[in-house]
Every structure is written in C-alpha cells, then in structure tokens.
Amino acid sequence: MSEIAVQALGVSVDFGGHLALDGASLTLPFGNVTALAGANGAGKTTLLRALAGLIPQATGEMTTAEYDPRTTPPAILASVRAYGAQAAYSAWDFALSDFPFLSSDPVLCDAWLERLELADLRHRRLSQLSVGQKKSAHLALTIASLGEPFGKIILLDEPTVGLDIARQELVQQACLDLAFAGAACVVATHDMNFIRRCHQVAVLSEGRLIAYGTPATTLTPAIIYETWGVS
C-alpha cells in the first residue's frame, strides 16, 4: 500500500455550465486529518463527493486508495473509503437499534453508537431524535462501514454541524483517533476550532484550491481575509 491516500490532479467539475470545482490538485497521506475549508459554495462538498466517486463526470486525474473513484465498482470502492453526507437523511423511520443491521459491520456500528453516546437511545426511532443525535447516528453508520481503519479513507461533509459541544468534541476526537489508527480522514467544515486541530487544511475559494498546509502556516490573516472576507 502506498503512503498516499488521496491524489487529485487538476480535478474539475462542471454542473451544467457552473464550474463547481476548477482544477483542484492535492495529495493527502494516510494517518492525517485534513480539513477542507472555504466559504459557502467554495467547492468543499463537490471535492469531497468527487473523491468519493459520486461525480462520474468529474475531469482530471484522481486516485482514492489507488482506485480511480469514477470507474471503480461501488462495492470495491466501499471497502476502502466511507463517505458521510452533510444531511442526515432517511426515507424511513428506522429505530436506532436497526442501525447495526443496516451496517456491513454490526458489532463495530454498535460500538460507534455507544462511543457517540447514543447507546441509551437505541429503542428510539429517528423521528424521536434531535438533528444532532440523528447526525451522530449516521456518522456511526458511516465510520463503521469501513471496519478496521488502517489504510482506509473517510470523507465527512460537515460532521459536527448541529452537534452540541460535547458531541462535537467526540466527533473531532474520533477523526483524530481514526487517523492515528492509520486512516486518512478528510472533513469539510466551517468550524475553526476543528480546523485548527487538523493536521492539514486545504482552503478552497470559488472552486479553486488557494492554500494547503498545516493550519498554523496556512490560515494567515491574508488567506482568512481572501476566503471569508473577515479579518
């Protein structure tokens, strides 16, 4: 297995004339948590989905765990990378106790539900949970789907949105632990607190990657001003 988890070279995504991603290039190693930062509409979700293999029309070169995510069969891709969407959507009103049965690894899913402090809510249905609790349950399902984290890639879209401070801390720590165990964790987030705890940050602006490096060196006042228009 190579050291490189994710590689993108000049990746662009055109959504019907709107260039959501404009030639983004980056290389991410295993064992790290990388934050994707940027204003709303900067292309964080698009980059994450492209890396996950969910945008077949993406152009440029891409490898996710040595596979081209656009052409690799979903079942193979699912064994090396997990993707957690931003919205915790479910068409049906599952009970939390159904979640392990929906997972490819029921024992691990149960363990993650417990770690995200949902064990006591097992008998409840999704409609009886708060937004943050639902989001945490989906995270448990997503993370558990990978099994052993070593050499795997976890792509999470705003995993801490809607969570209370205690759960935010749990999720941030979970990402760091997964990276420590050898996974590559990529999180799109607006949470500065979280970004500063990540090993790297990639800053996107209008579909282009404008900065990449450790948070301390990358998040300079100039970049912050350019990205968010605040000082």
Q: Are strands 18-29 and 4-15 parallel, antiparallel or unpaired?
A: antiparallel
Minimal distance, residue 103 CB to another protein, in Å: 9
Minimal distance, residue 113 CB to another protein, in Å: 15
**Given 7, 32, 59, 79, the residue binding another protein (CB under 8 A):** 79
Minimal distance, residue 142 CB to another protein, in Å: 8
Nearer of residues 139 and 195 to another protein, judged by Cβ: 139
Torsion of CA 114, 115, 116, 120, to 10 degrees: 30
* Residue range at the interface with another protein (CB under 8 A); choices 33-41, 87-95, 109-117, 163-171: 87-95
Nearer of residues 143 and 201 to another protein, judged by Cβ: 143
Rg (CA), the chain: 17
Residue 61: Cβ within 10 Å count: 11
* Residue range at the interface with another protein (CB under 8 A); choices 25-33, 47-55, 160-168, 175-183: 47-55
* Residue range at the interface with another protein (CB under 8 A); choices 88-96, 175-183, 190-198, 220-228: 88-96
User: Are residues 1 and 151 in contact, defined by beta-carbon separation less than 8 angstroms?
Assistant: yes
| Residue 67 makes contact with another protein by CB under 8 A | no
SS (H, E, C) 179-204: HHCCCEEEEECCCHHHHHHCCEEEEE
| Residue 75 makes contact with another protein by CB under 8 A | yes
- 52-58 long-range Cβ contacts below 8 angstroms, 24+ apart: 52/77, 52/81, 52/83, 52/155, 53/77, 53/81, 54/83, 55/13, 57/13, 57/14, 58/11, 58/12, 58/13, 58/21
The amino acid occupying position 216 is: A
The amino acid occupying position 123 is: H
**Given 135, 138, 152, 167, the residue binding another protein (CB under 8 A):** 138
| Residue 77 makes contact with another protein by CB under 8 A | yes
**Given 4, 39, 95, 192, the residue binding another protein (CB under 8 A):** 95
What part of residues 170-199 is at the interface with another protein (CB under 8 A)?
Answer: none
**Coil/strand/helix, residue 155:** strand
Cα–Cα dist 1/159, whole Å: 28
* Residue range at the interface with another protein (CB under 8 A); choices 10-18, 23-31, 76-84, 200-208: 76-84
Binding site for another protein (CB under 8 A): 49, 52-54, 73-75, 77-79, 81-83, 85, 87, 89-95, 98, 101-102, 104, 138, 141, 145
